[in-house]
């Protein structure tokens, strides 16, 4: 990256920013002061949030099978109109829904009393008679009320009695029961109101669906234009005024390969500028530059955090490990083949595949291939053992690659030790790049120590444990660990820090390596579950020529779909955990970089 500083005359500033956005390679350094207090910017951000929510609402509408959906066209002005129309429809929908709930409660209250006309009740009141509506349990109802208050039972529902009393005006009715407060409508009228409101809600929803079929492109155009205005406002607010408010100062970053292009543009624009290299302490934006296979794993790295500017990008270094770890965790050749064919079919049949989706599909295909070949280590194919087949080619493959559970357990630990040791090598390289070779001496000492112990344990004839050569190697690595772990400090401080590092290494390294046992455990558990579903499919199918195969296929498909979903999820999460914790920790990865986002026109 190159650091850019511009000094522009205030009357030409807006034109300069527009042309800079057309150039589309400069990452503007945003300053927070003024952004929170700028009313116009905050209003635009709120409007952008409304547009985003409305766009999501319309995109989630369900359409008829033969509906024609507009995919292109539309204007920003129409998009803002659609926003107001959708807001009005949503407000109306809320009011109608409340009314419908109210009518539903009133209908429920009138169900027990039947369909009577409240106007008749009012006429009786005008004539001097009062009708009271009451309810109580069967046991609490007293027949003397029929004589005293002219009580009449209207309905009985679930041991509950609904009755009315007819008394003269002014006569006190003393009943220790629940008195009902009924709406001022008849049941028939309420049902009409309820149906009318339901129809109004349906019409409201149809209008929303119609807007979703025709005006989604307009909303997208309005959102794109508004986001451009927001980005422009942020850049303006990030500028500093100089020379009595006559000059505008703005800072940015651009990739080094675009230096010639930027210089040519700025020279034509007659703008004062400086292009310098980053200084220590600068918050340089990060643009990952991986290609092909390694670029497919960049989203996984971004899930954790981007590296700092002067730090190694570990994506190309963890990608092969992640691919193998995923295959071991899923561990079924059938599942791998299914994922590969599914991703390939989608890639071939989809009408439009974006570059980001292509990258994701390529990653799925690579992980599926890894799963297929890792499944051959155990011979698992949709829970069945393919090595039970008495085919010559299968039996030759069995003798060449088959591993039992003990072998898979050891393979997981070996892969863990290799990745951790590789991470320590990268840590030494990173320390050398960032601070100089002397800061990597202690890390190199640990690498020499661990490698010598591994060679002595695995190849005692080559390097005998405790032999003269081995002791010399241990002495050299010990001096590097205890005397050069913190350059510039006195020897006693170095020794103390070396002891502390030794304690951390002894306790942490074993736990880190054992964490890789999950590679074996997940693959084993997935294979066992797949076998269980196969057994259920065979054992639970009825002894019927027609129903038997149908039930067997259903259990097989549903069971393996559940197992595949669970295992794919685990095969993503656990290798990520091993990468982000064990590998990144032992490679000294700090991260914390800010993503490079050039100031450009939105596509």
Whether residue 515 is predicted with pLDDT greater than 60 in this model: the reply is: yes
Whether 433 and 462 map to the same domain: the answer is: yes
Mean pLDDT of the chain: 85
Mean pLDDT of 517-527: 90
Same domain, 210 and 225: yes
pLDDT average, residue stretch 62-78: 81
Q: Are residues 61 and 203 in the same domain?
A: yes
**Strand bridging mode 247-254 / 240-242:** antiparallel
- Judgement on whether residues 19 and 147 belong to the same structural domain of the protein: no
Spatial distance between the Cα atoms of 105 and 135, rounded to a whole number of angstroms: 17
Quote the CA–CA distance of 334 and 331 in Å, as a whole number.
9
Per-residue pLDDT, 602: 62
493 pLDDT band, cuts 50/70/90, is confident
- Roughly how many angstroms between the first and final C-alpha of the chain, as a whole number? 24
Token readout for 500 is: 């502390």
Do residue 582 and residue 541 come from a single domain? yes
Confidence category of residue 17, pLDDT binned at 50, 70, 90: confident
What are residue 243's phi and psi, to 5 degrees? 55, 55
Q: What CA–CA distance (Å, rounded) separates 123 from 163?
A: 19
Instruction: Note the helical H segments in 271-354.
Output: 292-295, 298-304, 315-330, 333-349
The mean pLDDT value for 471-479 works out to 86
Residues with Cβ within 8 Å of 11's Cβ and at least 6 positions away in sequence, in order, are none
| Element at 513 (helix H, strand E) | helix 491-514
- Residue 602: inside a domain: no
Is residue 353 packed enough to be buried (19+ CB in 10 Å), middle (13-18) or exposed (0-12)?
middle
pLDDT value for 455: 86
Q: Is residue 489 helix, strand or coil?
A: coil
Contact (Cβ atoms closer than 8 angstroms) between residue 185 and residue 115: no
pLDDT in tens, 210-261: 888 888 888 888 888 887 777 777 666 655 555 456 667 778 888 888 888 8
Q: Looking at the structure, do residues 302 and 175 belong to the same domain, yes or no? A: no
Give pLDDT, residue 163: 93
Q: Answer whether residue 594 is part of any domain.
A: no
**Does 525 score more than 70 pLDDT?**
yes
Mean pLDDT computed over 13-23:
77
Residue 599 inside a domain? The answer is no
Q: Are 279 and 379 in the same domain?
A: no
- What's the token pair of residue 504? 């951390």
Phi/psi for 407 (5° steps) reads: -65, -40
Kindly tell me the sign of the dihedral angle through the C-alpha atoms of 542, 544, 548, 550. Answer: negative
Do the domain assignments include residue 572? Answer: yes
Within this chain, do residues 460 and 533 fall inside the same structural domain, yes or no? yes
Digit-coded pLDDT (tens) for 305-355 = 888 888 888 999 999 999 999 999 998 999 999 999 999 999 888 877 788
Share of residues in the chain with pLDDT > 70 (%): 94
Mean pLDDT to the nearest integer, 539-554: 85
Give the pLDDT of residue 498: 77
- Residue 54, SS3 per DSSP: helix
**What's the gap between Cα 132 and its chain centre?**
60
Looking at residue 241, what is its pLDDT? 56
Q: How many domains does the chain have?
A: 4
Does residue 411 contact residue 395 with C-beta atoms inside 8 Å?
no
Least confident segment among 241-255, 257-271, 403-417: 241-255
Specify whether 53 is located in the same domain as 155: no
In this prediction, residue 225 carries a pLDDT of: 82
Strands (E) in 371-517, as ranges, are 380-381, 384-385
Residue 36 has pLDDT above 50, yes or no: no
Torsion region of 281: left, alpha or beta (phi above 0 gives left; psi -120 to 50 gives alpha): left
Within 143-260, strands assigned E span: 152-157, 160-168, 178-179, 240-242, 247-254
Residue 68 Cα to chain centre, angstroms: 31
**What was the pLDDT predicted at 562?**
93
Q: What span, in angstroms and rounded, lies between the C-alpha atoms of 102 and 580? A: 54
Q: Are residues 166 and 209 in the same domain?
A: no
Residue 432 pLDDT exceeds 50? yes
- Residues 23, 40: one domain? no
Greater confidence, 601 or 209?
Answer: 209
Taking residues 492-520, report their average pLDDT: 82
Is 19's pLDDT higher than 60?
yes
Q: Please choose, from the candidates 185, 177, 191, the residue with its C-alpha nearest in 3D space to the C-alpha of residue 132.
A: 177
Instruction: Report the pLDDT averaged over residues 513-520.
Output: 91
Ordered strands of the 178-179 beta sheet: 152-157, 160-168, 129-137, 178-179
Model pLDDT, residue 575: 93
Report, as an integer, the average pLDDT of 197-209: 91
Report the CATH number at residue 27.
3.30.70.340
Lowest mean pLDDT among 9-13, 81-85, 493-497: 9-13
Evaluate whether residue 378 is within a structural domain.
Answer: yes
Please tell me the distance from the alpha carbon of residue 453 to that of residue 456, in angstroms, as a whole number. 5
pLDDT, residue 370, reads 94
Binned at pLDDT 50, 70 and 90, residue 35 comes out as very low
Q: Is 217 exposed, middle or buried (0-12, 13-18, 19+ CB in 10 A)?
A: middle
Is pLDDT of 31 > 80?
no
DSSP 539-583: HSS-S-TTHHHHHHHHHHHHHHHHHHHHHHHHHHHHHHHIIIIII
Provide the domain limits for residue 352: 292-589
**Which pLDDT score is estimated for 318?**
93
DSSP class of residue 180?
P
Shared domain for 378 and 487, answered yes or no, is yes
Statement: residue 390 has pLDDT above 60: yes
Q: Is 403 part of any domain?
A: yes
Distance of CA 130 to the CA centre of its chain: 65
Is the pLDDT higher at 380 or at 17? Answer: 380
**Chain-centre distance for alpha carbon 189:** 50
Is residue 559 situated within a structural domain?
yes
Indicate whether 62 pLDDT > 60. Answer: yes
Length of the chain: 603
Quickly tell me which residue has 């800072």 as its tokens.
Answer: 251
């Amino acid at each position: 990256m190159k650091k850019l500083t511009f000094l522009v005359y205030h009357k030409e500033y807006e034109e300069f920013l527009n042309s800079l956005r057309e150039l589309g390679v400069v990452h503007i350094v945003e300053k927070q002061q003024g952004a929170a207090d700028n009313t116009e910017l905050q209003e635009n951000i709120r409007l952008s949030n409304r547009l985003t929510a409305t766009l999501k609402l319309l995109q989630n509408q369900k359409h008829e099978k033969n509906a024609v959906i507009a995919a292109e066209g539309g204007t920003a002005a129409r998009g803002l109109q659609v926003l107001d129309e959708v807001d009005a429809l949503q407000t109306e929908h809320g009011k109608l829904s409340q009314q419908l709930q109210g009518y539903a409660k009133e209908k429920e209250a009138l169900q027990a009393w039947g369909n009577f006309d409240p106007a008749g009740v009012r006429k009786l009141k005008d004539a001097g008679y009062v009708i009271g509506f009451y309810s109580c349990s069967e046991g609490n109802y007293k027949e003397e009320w029929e004589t005293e208050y002219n009580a009449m039972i209207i309905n009985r529902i679930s041991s509950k009695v609904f009755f009315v009393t007819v008394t003269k005006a002014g006569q006190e009715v003393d009943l220790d029961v629940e008195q009902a407060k009924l709406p001022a409508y008849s049941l028939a009228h309420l049902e009409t109101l309820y149906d009318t409101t339901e129809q109004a809600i349906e019409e409201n929803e149809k209008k929303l669906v119609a807007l979703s079929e025709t005006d989604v492109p307009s909303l997208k155009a309005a959102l794109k234009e508004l986001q451009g205005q927001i980005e422009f406002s942020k850049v303006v607010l990030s500028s500093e005024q100089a020379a009595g408010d006559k000059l505008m100062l703005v800072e940015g970053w651009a990739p080094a390969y675009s230096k010639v292009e930027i210089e040519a543009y700025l020279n034509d624009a007659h703008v004062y500028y400086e292009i310098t290299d980053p200084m220590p302490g600068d918050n340089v934006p990060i643009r990952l530059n991986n290609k092909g296979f390694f670029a497919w794993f960049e989203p996984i790295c971004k899930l954790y955090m981007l590296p700092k500017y002067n730090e190694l990008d570990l994506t190309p270094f963890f990608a092969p490990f992640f691919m193998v770890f995923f295959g071991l965790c899923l561990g079924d050749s059938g599942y791998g083949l299914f994922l590969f064919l599914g991703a390939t079919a989608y890639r071939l049949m989809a009408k439009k595949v974006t570059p980001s989706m292509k990258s994701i599909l390529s990653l799925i295909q690579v992980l599926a291939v890894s799963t297929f070949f890792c499944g051959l280590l155990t011979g698992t194919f949709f829970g069945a053992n393919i090595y039970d087949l008495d085919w010559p080619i299968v039996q030759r493959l069995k003798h060449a690659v088959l591993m039992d559970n003990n072998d898979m357990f050891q393979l997981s630990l070996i892969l863990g030790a290799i990745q951790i040791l590789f991470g320590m090598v990268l840590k030494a390289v990173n320390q050398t790049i960032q601070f100089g070779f002397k800061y990597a001496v202690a890390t190199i000492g640990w690498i020499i120590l661990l490698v010598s112990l591994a060679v002595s344990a695995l190849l005692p004839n080559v390097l005998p444990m405790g032999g003269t050569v081995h002791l010399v190697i241990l002495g050299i690595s010990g001096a590097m660990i205890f005397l050069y772990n913190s350059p510039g400090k006195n020897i006693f401080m170095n020794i103390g820090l070396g002891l502390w590092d030794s304690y951390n290494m002894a306790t942490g390294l074993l736990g880190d390596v054992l964490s890789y046992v999950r590679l074996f455990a997940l693959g084993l558990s997935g294979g066992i579950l797949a076998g269980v579903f196969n057994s259920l499919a065979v054992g639970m199918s009825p002894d019927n020529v027609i129903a038997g195969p149908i039930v067997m296929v259903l259990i097989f498909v549903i069971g393996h779909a559940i197992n595949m979903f669970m295992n794919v999820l685990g095969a993503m999460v656990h290798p990520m955990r091993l990468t982000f914790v064990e590998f990144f920790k032992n490679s000294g990865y700090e991260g914390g970089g800010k993503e490079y986002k050039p100031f450009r026109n939105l596509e």
